[in-house]
Amino acid sequence: MNVVEQVESQLKQSIEQAVIKAELAGRDEMPEVILETPKEKSHGDYATNMAMQLARVAKKPPRDIAQDIVDQLDTEAASVKSVEIAGPGFINFFMDTSYLTDVVTTIFDQGDEYGQTNDGQGERVQIEFVSANPTGTLHLGHARGAAYGDALANVMEKAGYDVEREYYINDAGNQIDLLAQSIDVRYAQALGEEKTMPDEGYRGQDIIDLANDLAEEHGRSFLDMNEAGRLEAFREHGLNHLLDQIKHDLETFRVPFDSWFSERSLYTDDKVHAAVESLKEKGYVYESEGAVWFRSTDFGDDKDRVLIKNDGNYTYLTPDIAYHQDKISRGFDRLINIWGADHHGYVTRMKAAIAALGYDDLLDIKITQMVNLFENGEKVKMSKRTGKAVTMKELIEEVGLDATRYFFIMRSNDAHLDFDMDLARSESNDNPVYYVQYAHARICSMLRQAEEKGIATSEQPDLSLLTAEKEIDLLKRLGDYPQVISEAATKQMPHRIPQYVFDLASDLHSFYNAEKVIDQDQLALTQARIALMQATRTVIQDALALIGVHAPEKM
């Protein structure tokens, strides 16, 4: 427990004791003490609505109850400097803020471990994300999923979860046959032959490039093979090539994976068949019209789903169920899938399958909403370069890696995202990425100067000298960090991190303009402020690292 949590917990206890002393409620009727930090500074450092909550039990007006609580409160034990009753019955606490400086000491002791919480208690979580088909390059939607998934994994790790990141490779099934056929067509065309693309074929520039390379490297040699052999060769070549490209793009985007799971392995290990058998044993499988069905309607789906088509082939759903059964067998306490908005229709049936296998609440599916690019105030539909959809790689080249990461993560995953490329590119105060990075660079600059001027650093600076308004604001913000981590992780809302670090940067800039850190005439104060700057730098760095954004020392 950190300083802030200790103080809050102590205050809560004191409030409870006061309620009991004032005979307003017994232990069993005690509502949970809710402490909030008022937005308005004049409403104190903390406020509680306890009096309103007790109104019914105590059968008295809230303001009278508030007065009773205040009368009985042990202010000293709770580090409360003064108390006010306000509005309909709020109790506002003004704290003795001297405890706040302990935050700096804590950050020194813990370094980049500051902010760690134990919300996860070591729970094993698997996050499966991106999982784009290896039939093309990664696009905007994938980039959002990648940024969100990576940040979520980082934050959950920080909050004490044992996280594994997995990418599911759809390297079996129809789309791979289509990939082979598409390469076949482009390859023939590259050699000047006529060949028509199947309706569902992949028409992207990436496939054309790939086929051109093949033609250049191998000439007409593939044309001499029989069709089955040629398609098989193209299948393998295309798969390897595109998967390498995806891996490379993700690496560039600073999104690492612990494991890459192949759909094919499900077939070679006979797990698809086994999945159908499992559902059959549980009694959720029946045959009709020559097909084998899963009775997903038992689990809230609006219709039953086919597992094996009347031509004997599996549907897309079946290997997916097998895949999740495999995940289950690996012993995770929780599974999180991150899917694009276009897949939300599969949520119910996937969850139905998991429930049918007997693991009701194991799977959580997060949906990331659509991304729209804007440039010069207009919606960008297609890449100027290729005339096709804009790829993740292009976006990074256009606006930079840090901006791309930051912009994707700063919005809630379930809101549509308007990505303003001009803003992301601009090197100005309009751009939140630069604003935060600048705060970090500013601190580094001050620390450099302190060193150049030969300011002796102190092992134990007198932090009680940090009493200016902007210093208190900064200290409070630093103290909030563990709670931000906790919320971001447990609610799976990594967008809280960019929001927090933006506010922290804002506090830093305000402080910078109000107070001077390096003052040769006031060594003790300078040392205390340098300590505050070092602590702030640590937290900015850490928060940015969670969302995959660099913290530059100079700008």
Partner RNA sequence: GUCCCGGUAGCUCAGGGGAUAGAGCAACAGCCUUCUAAGCUGUCGGUCGCAGGUUCGAUUCCUGCUCGGGACACCA
Looking at 12-20, 68-76, 224-232, 495-503, which segment touches RNA (CB under 7 A)? 495-503
| Residues 406 to 445 in contact with RNA, rule: CB under 7 A | 411-412, 414-418, 420, 427-430, 432, 434-435, 438, 441-442, 444-445
Provide the pairing of β-strand 334-340 with 363-368.
parallel
**520 contacts RNA (rule: CB under 7 A):** no
Residue 262 interacts with RNA (CB under 7 A)? Answer: no
Footprint on residues 338-377 left by RNA (CB under 7 A): 341-346, 348, 367, 369-370
| Nearest alpha-carbon partner for 139 in 347, 390, 497 | 390
What is the CA angle 392-398-404, rounded to 5? 55
CB of 153 to RNA, least distance (A): 19
499 forms part of the interface with RNA (CB under 7 A): yes
What does each C-alpha distance from 546 to 27, 36, 184, 538, 549 come to in angstroms?
A: 41, 26, 43, 12, 8
Cβ 55 to RNA shortest distance, Å: 6
Pattern 86-125, binding to RNA, x per CB under 7 A?
xxx-x-x---------------------------------
User: How many residues in total does the chain contain?
Assistant: 555
Measured from the CB atom, the residue of 188 and 482 that comes closer to RNA is 482
Does 400 help bind RNA (rule: CB under 7 A)?
no
Q: Smallest gap, in angstroms, from Cβ of residue 425 to RNA?
A: 11
Q: φ and ψ at 166, to 5 degrees?
A: -130, 145
- Total site size for RNA, rule CB under 7 A: 86
Residue 457 sits in the site that holds RNA (CB under 7 A)? no
Query: Which residue, among 7, 4, 103, has the nearest Cα to 528 in the 3D structure?
Result: 103
**Alpha-carbon torsion, ordered 325, 326, 329, 332, to 10 deg:** -90
* Cβ proximity to RNA, 247 vs 343, nearer residue: 343
Q: Which of 333, 359, 512, 550 binds RNA (CB under 7 A)?
A: 512
Least distance CB 17 / RNA (angstroms): 21
Buried/exposed code over 510-538 (b: 16+ C-beta within 10 A; e: otherwise)? ebbeebebbeeeeeebbbbbbbbbbbbbb
Residue 255: CB atoms within 10 Å: 23
**Closer to RNA by Cβ: residue 100 or 306:** 306
Q: Which of 427, 425, 388, 499 shows the shortest CA–CA distance to 140?
A: 388
Q: Is 299 in the site for RNA (CB under 7 A)?
A: no
* The one among 76, 109, 224, 302 contacting RNA by CB under 7 A: 302
Comparison of 282 and 316: residue with beta carbon closer to RNA:
316
- In angstroms, the CA 522 to CA 520 distance is 6
Of 449, 407, 515, 494, which is closest to residue 129 (Cα–Cα)?
A: 494
Compute the least distance from the CB of residue 440 to RNA, in Å. Answer: 8
Q: Out of 6, 252, 310, 522, name the contact with RNA by CB under 7 A.
A: 310
Choosing from 495, 497, 527, 542, the residue that interacts with RNA (CB under 7 A) is 495
| 553 vs 515: CA distance, rounded Å | 21
CB of 89 or CB of 548, closer to RNA: 89
Least distance CB 293 / RNA (angstroms)? 8
Choose which of 187, 222, 323, 502 interacts with RNA (CB under 7 A): 502
Residue 316 binds RNA, judged by CB under 7 A: yes
Site for RNA in 154-173 (CB under 7 A): 170, 172-173
Helices (H), 160-226: 174-190, 205-218
CA distance 129 to 147: 10
Which two tokens mark 518?
């390096």
Smaller CB distance to RNA: residue 266 or 463? 266
Question: Other C-beta atoms within 10 Å of 330: how many?
Answer: 12
Query: Is the CB of 417 or the CB of 549 nearer to RNA?
Result: 417
In the complex, what is the shortest distance from the CB of residue 361 to RNA, in angstroms, rounded to a whole number? 17
Neighbours of 414 (CB within 10 A): 11
Q: Of 321-340, which residues contact RNA (CB under 7 A)? A: none
Output the smallest distance, CB 34 to RNA, in A.
Answer: 8
C-alpha closest to that of 107 among 450, 538, 435, 490? 538
Token digits of residue 176: 């791979």
**x-marked contacts with RNA along 462-481 as a string, rule CB under 7 A:** --------------------
Dihedral angle, C-alpha 373, 378, 382, 386, nearest 10 °: -110
CA dihedral 390, 391, 396, 397 (to 10 degrees): -70
Residue placing its CB nearer to RNA in the complex, 194 or 303: 303
Interface of this chain with RNA, residues 7 to 66, rule: CB under 7 A? 36, 38-40, 42-44, 47, 49, 52-53, 55-56, 62
Q: Minimal distance in Å, beta carbon 188 to RNA?
A: 24
Among 493, 525, 535, 549, binds RNA (CB under 7 A): 493
One of 280, 334, 388, 509 touching RNA (CB under 7 A): 509
**Closest CB to RNA among residues 458, 510:** 510
Concatenated DSSP letters for 208-273?
HHHHHHHHHHHTTGGGGS-HHHHHHHHHHHHHHHHHHHHHHHHHHTT---SEEEEHHHHHHTTHHH
Site for RNA in 195-214 (CB under 7 A): none
